[in-house]
Amino acid sequence: MFSVVIRRCFNELIISLVVVFLSVVIASYVMYMLEHEAQAEKFSSVPATMWWGIITMTTIDYGDLYPITPVGRLVGGIVAFFGLCMLALPIATIGAGKTRGRDVITP
């Protein structure tokens, strides 16, 4: 049943995964610009900062990379909240795909 739902929602899932990926890239770029001067050894490049973006958006937060500037902390909080919303997209898409195409059973 799961494979049927995945096939039924494949395009929507691809779009949501692209949006999540672009969100990580944009958030990482913004955080790099905000934190590079304060923590040049930790936020050394945008690809290195993408580690921060991934762990923040998934709310894992290992604690090895975090913002220390006030604006960086504000952006970090916004990214964490936005990450929860973005990761809920594929779950909602699969749930909606499970009900799509079902016949309504009437008594």
The predicted pLDDT at position 2 comes to: 78
Is the pLDDT at 3 greater than 90, yes or no?
A: no
Give the whole-number percent of the chain exceeding pLDDT 90: 56
Q: Tell me, what's the pLDDT at 102?
A: 55
pTM (2 decimals)?
0.82
Is 1.10.287.70 the CATH number for 16-96?
yes
The pLDDT of residue 95: 83
Give me the pLDDT at residue 27, please.
96
pLDDT digits (tens, 9 = 90+) for 50-64: 999 999 998 888 889
Q: Which long-range contacts (CB under 8 A, 24 or more apart) does 67-73 make?
A: 67/31, 67/34, 67/35, 68/35, 68/38, 68/39, 69/34, 69/35, 69/38, 71/34, 72/31, 72/34, 72/35, 72/38
pLDDT (tens digit, 9 = 90+) per residue, 36-92? Answer: 999 999 999 999 999 999 999 988 888 899 999 999 999 999 999 999 888 888 888
